[in-house]
Structures are given as C-alpha cells and as structure tokens.
Structure 1
C-alpha cells in the first residue's frame, strides 16, 4: 500500500510540474527548438554522462574500501542498475537496490553498503552547496533557489552530525537502536538492530589522507562532466549565439536542476527537471517553448544511455537482483544480510 502511495505521489508530482512547464509555451517555439538544434554534439554528451558514472564508481570504491575492496566492474554495475530503478520509481529507491546488488555480489552486509551510499550523498549535497555558493557571487539567484539551498544545507548538516555520532559513539547508538526496536512488532525489531549494527560498521574512515584528496578530486571531476554536458547542449541549441548563454548558464542549470535530483520527486525526475530547467533558462530570456525542448533533450541524454547501460548491467548480474531487492541470497563471497 505504501509503495503504491509513493508511486502515485511521484506521478502526481511529475504531472503537476509538467503542467507548469507546458502551460505557457508556444507550440512553434517548441517545434523550432527541436528543429533548429544541432544534434552532433549530443554524442560527446552521452560519453560524458557515462564517464561521470565511471568516476562515481571509482569514488564509491574508495568510500567502501575500509569495509572491502570491491571490484570496480561490480560497483559500476550496481550503480547503473540503481539509476535504472530511480528512473522508474520515486523516492530514490534505486539507492537501496544498488546497495543490495553490491552486497549480494561482494558478500557485504547491505546496511554497510548503504552507509557508504549515504556518505556519498552527503558529499554530493555539500559539493552542490559549494557550487551554489560560488554561483551566488556570479549571479543573483531567485529567492526560492536560495531557500532550497538553506534547506539542503540544514538537511546535510543533520545527516553529517548523525553519521559522526554513530561513528564516534557506536555503543550508545546501538543501545538506543535496541531500545527503539522494542516498540516494533515481531522480528522487525530484531531486524532493525541488525541493520543498525551493519550500518555503523560501514561508517569506517578512509585509511589514508591521500584517499580523501582522491575523493575530492573525483567529486570535482564528476561535477565538471555534468557542466560540460549542459554547455555542449547549450551549444547544440545555439543558445550561446542567440541568447548569450555562457559557462555561467551551465553552472546555474547544473545547480538548479540538481535540486530536482536531490529531493524525492517523480520517477526519472520527469516534470520537475523540465520545469526547473525552463525556469533557469528564463533568466536568459529563452522562450518557454525552446527551453522545454532543450530540457527534453538534456533529460533524454541523461536518461537513455544510463538506462541502456543499466539494463545491460542488470542482465549481466542477473535480473533476480531487481525482482527481490530485499532478499538475502547466498553469494560466492558470503551472505548479503542486512
């Protein structure tokens, strides 16, 4: 029942934001946007999208290294499978699925893998906030973007404090989890304690300071890939010539549209992504119809290659990982318990 509610809520969000994106467009602007675009720059865009995810897999390998040295190919497969799930389900369920896939294949507790995913997301949010801070000095953001930044900062600080507390005080944290689990029915309480223990065991600091530097460099490289994708797409639509868009436009697009990805939204971020992209380009006097055609192309560039690669990875790893993401099947490396 809860899963259905999440799905319908996500669909409602997507429909609502898509309505906002469509309500003021002129059909001829939309058609002209598609027909006048140069599509050859989209091929390097697709390459940059996949490259960004390869870099994400390398960074994930560093983050989970204190628990186990996982194979890069399996990390990449789990990551891409998770993205496919995110494309068709709301509430970032793909993060749970990719944690299960890696745990199943590498014999790591799923909750320990999930801890590394949470750390990764905290890094992403702080990276986004740093990028937003830089952009603020270059361009005045609308108030709703600034407020969203404050909200993300508050959430990320709370998440960071929780992670640090769990890591520094594992004993008291586990006792509190055990106390809270008494209020849950049946085996659910015992499972919560197991998940908590596995999650805390996954919060292991990196062994070398050089690894922290590598994580930082990889994070910058990942965001640079995203920025290049936007800039190439702006060039493809000739917005740089017609409307004077620059690298600053790419940065603003990156910051504002990432809000649609960070917060729980519709499956595949359909609607929310398009509307936020449209709002950003409106700052540069791009007509709503042309902005929507641009948003549709950029969204497809991010969606199609990832989906195709993700489906290939799912078939290579075995589709059962998608059919039963809560199971605890045996693997060659052990059991993927929670």
Structure 2
C-alpha cells in the first residue's frame, strides 16, 4: 500500500512540480534536520530509561544500554512487520538480561497505554486549537461556526460518546465487546501507572518523550523558508496527522509525506514545499531508525559478551 501511494502521489506531479520538490531538498537547511534527529535520539533514550520504572517493581533492572538497544531494534523491525518490534524488544531483554518474556511484554503493553493516552490528548489539543477551522467545514455560516463548533466538539460529542459507551456495554456483539475491552484496558492501564512507586518520574518521562516528538516536527519546519513561520496550531495539527498516518502503513511509508502535506496546505503552505517537508521529515526519521537499529543488532551481543 505504501509503495502504491508513493507511485500514485508522484504520478500526479508535473515535471515542474518534481523539479520544485528537488530544489526544496537541495536548498533545505539540514542543520535543523540534525537538531530534529537529536530530539529523536533523546526520546529513545528517555523511553529506554522509562521502561526501567515498570520493570523495577517486578524485581528486574536491565542494563540501560540493553534497554536502549532493545528499543532501537523494536523500532527497526516495526518498519518491516507492524507490531513485531514489541515482541522483539521483549525477546531481546529476555535473552540478555534474563527477564521473562511475558513480564517484559506486559510492561511494554503498559507503556503503549501511556503513549495512546498522550496521542489522544494531543489530538484533543489539536481539536481545541482548530475548532474554528473544522467548524467552517461543518457549518455554512462562518459567523456562527466558532460557537457551534465549540458546542459540538466539547459538549455534544462527549455526551454522545458517554451515552454510546453506556449503551454498548450491554451489547453481545463480539466486535463491540473487543472495543469495550480495549477502552477498559486503557482505564486499567492508567490506574496501574498511578499506583507505581515512581509514578511521577514515569509521567515526567512520558511527557518528555512526547515533547521531543513534537520538537522533532517543529525543528524541521525551519529547514524550508515556506514552513518557517507556521503557527503553533499548524505544528500540532501536522504532527497529529503525521502520527496517525504511521498506523496506515509500515512506518508511514507513502502516507506520512502526503498526509502532512495535506495538513500544511491548510495553512497556506504551497503544495510542493509541503510535500518536500513531509518527505524530508519522513526520510530523516526512517534513516535514523534503520542506522541505529542495525547498529544495535550488531553491538548488543558484543556489548554483553564484553560485560560478561
């Protein structure tokens, strides 16, 4: 699907569009891209350190270097087989730090609950900042769209969601039961995090990780003159759209540049520079994951043999 989307998006471009995108790549300020990758590395280190807060109550304390390399291996494998990285991460830490697979995997699931909550929170912020923009599409009268959209998103939708949840809890449909189980799992995950001994450190690291993600996106906007002066709400909307595109194909292959470009165009960024931004952002992230993931594959057995 990702390869098809790449072909489809390129096939729609004229020769002048392709030349414009090439020019953006050639003239981009890659120091800002390097800064973006630095934020990405910090997020990976923080994620590896945060993992220890979940393993410690179980009686395990893996080497920090092993945790970092296990995280990087997981990111690499997720590029090729979705969600395989979580299994590989648990298997890696089992092999080199003797932590049982099921317990390690359970902590990874708890991490994902925290990350899902953060993503949903940022989506909520994006809706809050852009209720007028979204409302202008839903309501014809622009003068009233601001009031109506705020009522719709922050009163009507939550109320309908709550009523719908209460109603669906009584359903016997297998799919609905799975959805309700997922929602209940999120709630249980939040409660378990709040009961942790070092919950505040865990929460701080979670906030730090997601702040680094946003800064990764923000830093690259300074690489191109057309995206330098984007408002804060454009950064958040672009980040959210890019993050959601990652779920459609492996690592956002083919979807990330197109989705991000479609969001930036709403803020008067020309289509070609917007596409160039999306491709620069996606390429930098993907190359970083591949390089550090392959290095981790090579170094983790050598590191543990040396330590032993």
Question: Structure 2-normalised TM-score?
Answer: 0.75
Q: Deviations over 1:282-306 (max 9, x none)?
A: 2112233222211111112212222
Distance 1:294 1:90, change over 3 A: same
Preserved CA contact (<8 Å) 2:24 2:273: yes
Report the equivalent of 1:80: 72
Shift in Å, 1:236: 0.8
Higher RCO (CA < 8 A, seq sep 6+): 1
**As a proportion of its length, which structure holds more helix?**
2
Give the counterpart of 1:33 among 24, 28, 35. Answer: 24
Residue 317 to residue 215, structure 1, CA distance change in 2 (3 Å): same
C-alpha distance in structure 2 between counterparts of 1:156 and 1:230, whole Å: 31
Gaps of 5+ in 1: 1-12, 169-202, 320-331, 334-338
Decide whether the 8 Å contact of 1:125 with 1:156 is kept in 2: no
Q: Distance in 2 between matches of 1:164 and 1:49?
A: 28
**1:194 alignment partner in structure 2:** none
Q: Any runs of at least 4 consecutive aligned residues in structure 1 with deviations exceeding 6 A, and if so which?
A: 153-157, 163-166
Matching residue of 1:71: 63
Which of 206, 227, 231 does residue 246 from structure 1 map onto? 231
TM-score (norm 1): 0.69
2:149 aligned partner:
none
- Mapped to 2, the partners of 1:119 and 1:19 lie a distance apart of 37
**Counterpart position of 1:230:** 217
Bigger drift between 133-142 and 229-238 goes to 133-142
Q: Which residue of 2 aligns with 1:325?
A: none
**What are the residue-to-residue correspondences of 1:216-295 with 2, within 5 Å?**
216-241=203-228, 244-261=229-246, 263=247, 265-295=248-278
Distance change >3 Å, CA 114–CA 162, structure 1 → 2: same
Aligned residues: 263
Measure, in 1, the Cα distance between the counterparts of 2:8 and 2:37: 28
Shift of 1:225: 1.0
Question: Considering only aligned residues, what root-mean-square deviation do their CA atoms show, in Å?
Answer: 3.3
Question: Paired residue for 1:183?
Answer: none
Query: Is residue 21–residue 278 contact of structure 1 (8 Å, CA) maintained in 2?
Result: no
Q: Deviations over 1:125-144 (max 9, x none)?
A: 1101111112211114769x
